[in-house]
Amino acid sequence: MKLQAKSYALRRQVLEMIYRAKTGHIGGDFSVCDILNVLYNRVMDVTPENFTSADHDHFILSKGHSVEALYSVLCDKGFFSPEDLLTFSQFGTKYIGHPNNKVPGIEMNSGSLGHGLSVGVGMGLAGKRQGKDYRVYVVMGDGELAEGSVWEGAMAAGHYQLDNLCAVVDRNRLQISGTTEEVMTQDSQDDRWAAFGWHTLHAKGNDVEDLERAFEEAKAYKGKPTVIIADTVKGCGVSFMEGKAEWHHKVPTQEEYEAAKRELLEKEAACS
């Protein structure tokens, strides 16, 4: 399956999980799907076989409310079976609504926003001091950047020149209470990250080829950590969800579910 087609297949899995469980963050899941798809299938060296080794590449989904997208990617990579996802958000399951390190393939519990980057800094610094060649990737939401702890981590990463660390901002411009620019202005990203000693890149965050280009450039850049500002669309892939804040945490009706599934299948087929 072509990579862009796989992104739509992953969205279909997310749709099924959320519709079945009657809970989930579908808008942010759909905006981040391409980023996770490229990371796990083109960029990172992490598999079910090497996950218990400290030498694999490390990943943190700091915007933990988009865990449904991460579960879908990990399932596709063979970390667990599709049957496990049938238990998503059911009583007693480990497949809960935010990342949980009891789940194979997940290293950090997240969901309380603003903490993932600092943990990633620690992983990157440990790798440098131990002479490891692994890389660390942290995906954050743009609304998350209002958290002060993000910038403490950014300052430390710049200070230690962690060129083995790559942060990705899912820049869909929407959060639960409205647009990011209404809630807390975010449009000065390049200047902010540069002031903390970061190399800044931009990518079309729902275009797998452009994302792959950006990750390759980030890996080649030495002397500074890199942040990729990935311009995405919240709800990407389903026309009636795209760019609408109400789909941050909304469950589709049966009619909406069926329409979304049809559209995703059509787009998947068009990319195959």
DSSP 39: I
pTM above 0.95, yes or no: yes
3-state secondary structure of 21: helix
Q: Domain segments of the chain: what residues?
A: 3-271
CATH 2.40.70.10 fits 3-271, yes or no: no
Cβ proximity of 242 and 248 under 8 Å: no
Tokens of residue 191, six digits: 């200047």
pLDDT confidence of residue 177: 77
The DSSP bridge pattern shows strands 178-179 and 174-175 to be antiparallel
User: Cα separation of 224 and 165, whole Å?
Assistant: 8
Give the residue among 52, 87, 91, 54 at the shortest CA–CA distance from 71.
87
Q: For residues 149-182, b (16+ Cβ closer than 10 Å) or e, as one string? A: ebbebbebbbebebbbbbbbbbbbbbbeeeebee
Stretches in the chain below the pLDDT threshold 70: none
Which amino acid type is present at position 69? A
